[in-house]
Structure 1
Amino acid sequence: MGTPQDKKPQGGGGFFASIASTLSNFGTAMQKSVNGLVGYEGLEVINPEGGTEDAEAEAQRGRWRQEDRDSYWKMMQKYIGADVTSLVTLPVVIFEPMSMLQKMAELMEYSYLMDSADKCEDPHMRMVYASTFFVANYYALQRAWKPFNPILGETYEMVNHGGITFLSEQVSHHPPISAAHAENDHFVYDITSKVKTKFLGNSIDIYPLGRTRVTLKKDGVSLELVPPPSKVNNLIFGRTWVDSPGELILTNLTTGDKVVLYFQPCGWFGAGRYEVDGYVYNAADEPKILMTGKWNETISYQLCDSEGEPQPGAELTQVWKVAESPVNDKYQYTYFAHKINSFDTAPKKLLESDSRLRPDRYALEKGDLSKSGSEKSRLEERQRAEKKIRESKGEKFIPKWFDAEEEMVPTPWGELELYRYNGKYDEYRASSSSGGRIEGENDIRSEEFNPWKYEELS
């Protein structure tokens, strides 16, 4: 893995804009197209490894049956170019047994990095640890399975990991918005998550409209993240895979320091895939530390001079390495992802609205696709029924653990309805004497998933 030492930074995004410019002529070759799909004009099957595999053989790879692909393509043609965030009901064959609220918690796997950022005395090394915390999350995001859309009012709780208490809640259904809050002795993490999509036929662009902020407790430093967009390739034909080309920017709102990391796009024969390069800048936009690596393997750093060149004698030092994962796991889950789905990370008294209790998720986890599909349809129908009751009463849905802000906040891809943690969960947990799980509690067979606000649901 090379370093960006031969590039001259131009303060903030200028350096990375120059990298993007050098790649512009390579853009048409950055994806391996497998053509020859009779009857599917305009579709591309993109092989991230390149190669010379027969086009039709490559197109048939993936988890779809031929009849499923044909019917899905006929249904989806009318949505090309549209934002399909909440327009389409998808079959469970493309799902993983996890809710989006649970997937939000996966970022906490490497929470020790944010702990290190809080403990760190050097302001620029602090940014190395904090930005690596967010880069490490992309290993989980490369999974091409789709998580379940949360039901309005659904929640997910996590304890027993790094001293963290994590809570997420689905605070809006149209548009879909999730909010989460996490805290331990070193940091407070808050996110309002919303995405905008653009369906392109056999791929989909995903733009993160959300806002993520972290407060480090020792010095009260506030950090804000702007992640790059993502692209899911081969939705219908071929092996589905995810790429996230673009800039990740982490800004210290307290001091003005920032990190700008460029995620390379996947090129011809997989060139550049997973690669990340960039700098930690001080408030004057001067590079202080270069960072380099692969978001699916390891990230390292090296002290640099004002021109971005490595300092004489400065060593390239590893700051993070991906944890070992189970071999040949069906859903490409890490050991931590399995913990998220288990009750080992659940509090003693679990909220009835918790994602673990979803019957469609649990059925898929057990391999029963038929039951998972029927349960998913049943939950969605109950959600529609509750909406009708709420509208008939002239009532508005109010989240339990997060409060809506009055003003919209800007993001690079549009405005966002911001939700803030209201602290009521802390009060609830204190009153219920929370703690780790007790053997025999939280049995999926004895508890019913219940995010509903009304009792008169049919």
Structure 2
Amino acid sequence: MSSEDQKQNGGFFASIASGFANFGFAVQKSVTGLIGYEGLEVINPDGGTDDAEAEALKGRWKDEERDSYWKIMQKYIGADITSVLTLPVFICEPMTNLQKMAEIMEYSHLLNLANECEDPYLRMVYASSWAISVYSAYQRTWKPFNPILGETYEMVNHGVTFIAEQVSHHPPMGAGHAENEHFVYDVTSKLKTKFLGNSVDIYPIGRTRVTLKKDGVVLDLVPPPTKANNLIFGRTWIDSSGEMIMTNLTTGDKVLLCFQPCGWFGAGRYEVDGYVYNAAEEPKLLMTGKWNESISYQPCDMEGEPLPGTELKEVWRVSDMPENDKFQYSYFAHKINSFETAPTNLLASDSRLRPDRCALQKGDLSKAGAEKSSLEEKQRAEKRNREQEGHQFTPRWFDPTSEVTTTPWGDLEVYEYNGKYSKHRAAANGLESVDEVGLRSKEFNPWQYSNLVTERGAM
């Protein structure tokens, strides 16, 4: 193939050839001149040549906050920090993990197309492009709030009905269900982390299933891990590298995509390359693009080379974004947070109603921090009340199953949607609606036991 052809295909074959045997690394600099931080690395994805100490101080932390936080964090190096720390609100975004779970529905039209597609391999292109699309939202460097046990998030007016619930606190686990006339989506999610000092590896322990209604095919998704760099020193940035595998459990077809790591001077950053294979593991279509921009596909031969006379066709492109948005939100992310697009008779457990989230959205960090602490105290009190009564927490919209699924990073107990939310929403829609002001004044309440005692320090 000519160099011009390689250029036209976005460096696809060069990326595949390098694979994962030739991992590149962004420029790393050790912060050795700051007392107490010797050996910590600041990684600049753009490969700049700025002084390491100057670069390290460009993050969002104030000096005194950085010092205090590092004294707490250094003892957790090498550990899973998913639920062992209380984090300051100034590193958070006004959204919870449950809402972030719903962001995968922004480009759900791709699943609609997959359902209607007659070509089994192009169907996998649509479906896997949908799975890739959510990474454009995952590049945000702000941390969402951890959901309170029993907290929910519901979305009904974006071409799909979505419900998510925090079904476990230790370990933190969320379950989600979405549906429209084309597909059913079910997920159980449990994150595992490894703190490395100035970065954290995030492993997506979960089970994701999509059922396309037209032919009844079931798709299974295994996503790649993610890494958050420069948590304390330097400007935080997100990278995802590894394999994404989507398997058609009905036919045996699958998609194998390689998320390339960020290399020197940003080389390879965001790049995704791979193939759609049939059940005999023969390549049928190649896929290439960037997870923050667009994905294209092209027919290929048995060697994975593009078929003569064919060309790359774009199947997904990220939507336009608001300019200078503080939290790097898309228009869809703003809708997720808005009371204007909330369903009528919103559940009292819905993430939109959290007082800490609302305060942070208004820019009141002091109130957001106080409200966050209050919610965490109430969660402890509710747990005490349940234990005193000898009761276990019972999710409302999802039921635990006996199924345990194995992932590359650990086992997962699977929860299944019990169908009760669909009945609730149908009934709630028939009631008198509440205006936006009424929704905003509704009190956040995910608790199963309401006689909460929230003295400071009570456990």
User: What TM-score do the two structures reach when normalised by structure 1?
Assistant: 0.94
Contact 1:348 1:434 in 2 (8 A): no
Q: Which residue of 1 aligns with 2:171?
A: 175
Q: 2:416 aligned with 1:420, yes or no?
A: yes
1-side partners of 2:191 and 2:17: how far apart? 24
Q: Which deviates more from structure 2 when the two are superposed, residues 342-351 or residues 314-323?
A: 342-351
Contact 1:96 1:364 in 2 (8 A): yes
Shift of 1:62: 1.4
Q: 2:118 aligned with 1:125, yes or no?
A: no
Q: Which residue of 1 aligns with 2:457?
A: none
1:139-218 equivalences in 2 (<5 Å): 139-162=136-159, 164-218=160-214
Shift of 1:345: 3.0
1-side partners of 2:38 and 2:295: how far apart? 41
Q: Taking structure 1 as reference, are residues 309 and 4 closer, same or farther at Cα in structure 2, changes over 3 Å only?
A: farther
Q: Which residue of 2 aligns with 1:11?
A: none
Q: 2:80 aligned with 1:83, yes or no?
A: yes
Q: 2:64 aligned with 1:67, yes or no?
A: yes
Q: 2:250 aligned with 1:251, yes or no?
A: no
Task: Select which of 228, 234, 241 maps to 2:237.
Answer: 241
1-side partners of 2:111 and 2:434: how far apart? 29
Q: Which deviates more from structure 2 when the two are superposed, residues 30-39 or residues 317-326?
A: 30-39
1:35-54 equivalences in 2 (<5 Å): 35-38=31-34, 39-54=36-51
Contact 2:339 2:436 in 1 (8 A): no
1-side partners of 2:85 and 2:127: how far apart? 36
1:267-322 per-residue CA deviation (whole Å, 9 max, x = no partner) reads 11111000010000000000000000111111111111111000011011110111
2-side partners of 1:37 and 1:145: how far apart? 27
Shift of 1:42: 2.6
Q: Which runs of 5+ in 1 are unaligned?
A: 8-14
Q: Taking structure 1 as reference, are residues 258 and 436 closer, same or farther at Cα in structure 2, changes over 3 Å only?
A: farther
Shift of 1:4: 6.7
User: What TM-score do the two structures reach when normalised by structure 2?
Assistant: 0.94
Shift of 1:455: 2.2
Shift of 1:344: 3.3
2-side partners of 1:302 and 1:34: how far apart? 43
Query: Alignment partner of 2:309: what SS?
Result: coil
Query: Alignment partner of 2:257: what SS?
Result: strand
1-side partners of 2:436 and 2:450: how far apart? 28
Contact 2:210 2:218 in 1 (8 A): yes
Query: Alignment partner of 2:301: what SS?
Result: coil
2-side partners of 1:431 and 1:242: how far apart? 42
Query: Alignment partner of 2:176: what SS?
Result: strand
2-side partners of 1:148 and 1:90: how far apart? 9
Q: Taking structure 1 as reference, are residues 434 and 341 closer, same or farther at Cα in structure 2, changes over 3 Å only?
A: farther
Shift of 1:443: 2.8
Q: Which residue of 1 aligns with 2:215?
A: 219
1-side partners of 2:351 and 2:247: how far apart? 32
2-side partners of 1:428 and 1:256: how far apart? 37
Q: 2:392 aligned with 1:382, yes or no?
A: no
Contact 2:346 2:439 in 1 (8 A): no
1:135-181 per-residue CA deviation (whole Å, 9 max, x = no partner) reads 0100000001000000000000001112x110000000000000000
Query: Alignment partner of 1:215: what SS?
Result: strand
1-side partners of 2:276 and 2:218: how far apart? 16
Contact 2:164 2:177 in 1 (8 A): yes
Q: Which residue of 1 aligns with 2:341?
A: 345
1:309-388 equivalences in 2 (<5 Å): 309-388=305-384
Q: Percent identity?
A: 68
Contact 2:189 2:204 in 1 (8 A): yes
Query: Alignment partner of 2:439: what SS?
Result: coil
Contact 1:117 1:130 in 2 (8 A): yes
Shift of 1:35: 3.5
Query: Alignment partner of 2:73: what SS?
Result: helix
1:378-433 per-residue CA deviation (whole Å, 9 max, x = no partner) reads 00000000101111111100100000012322111111011000001111122223
Task: Select which of 447, 450, 459 maps to 1:455.
Answer: 450
Q: Taking structure 1 as reference, are residues 257 and 456 closer, same or farther at Cα in structure 2, changes over 3 Å only?
A: same
1-side partners of 2:431 and 2:284: how far apart? 42
Q: Taking structure 1 as reference, are residues 62 and 434 closer, same or farther at Cα in structure 2, changes over 3 Å only?
A: farther
Contact 2:207 2:222 in 1 (8 A): yes
Shift of 1:436: 12
2-side partners of 1:438 and 1:452: how far apart? 22
1:16-65 per-residue CA deviation (whole Å, 9 max, x = no partner) reads 697111x14x4xx4443354342202310111111111211110111110
2-side partners of 1:356 and 1:6: how far apart? 45
2-side partners of 1:16 and 1:392: how far apart? 58
Q: Taking structure 1 as reference, are residues 19 and 435 closer, same or farther at Cα in structure 2, changes over 3 Å only?
A: farther
Contact 1:32 1:268 in 2 (8 A): no
Name the count of aligned residue pairs.
445
Q: How much is the aligned-residue C-alpha RMSD, in angstroms?
A: 1.7
Q: Which residue of 2 aligns with 1:302?
A: 298
Q: Which residue of 1 aligns with 2:393?
A: 397
Q: 2:388 aligned with 1:408, yes or no?
A: no
Query: Alignment partner of 1:300: what SS?
Result: strand
Shift of 1:5: 6.0
Q: Which residue of 2 aligns with 1:106?
A: 103
Q: Which residue of 2 aligns with 1:10?
A: none
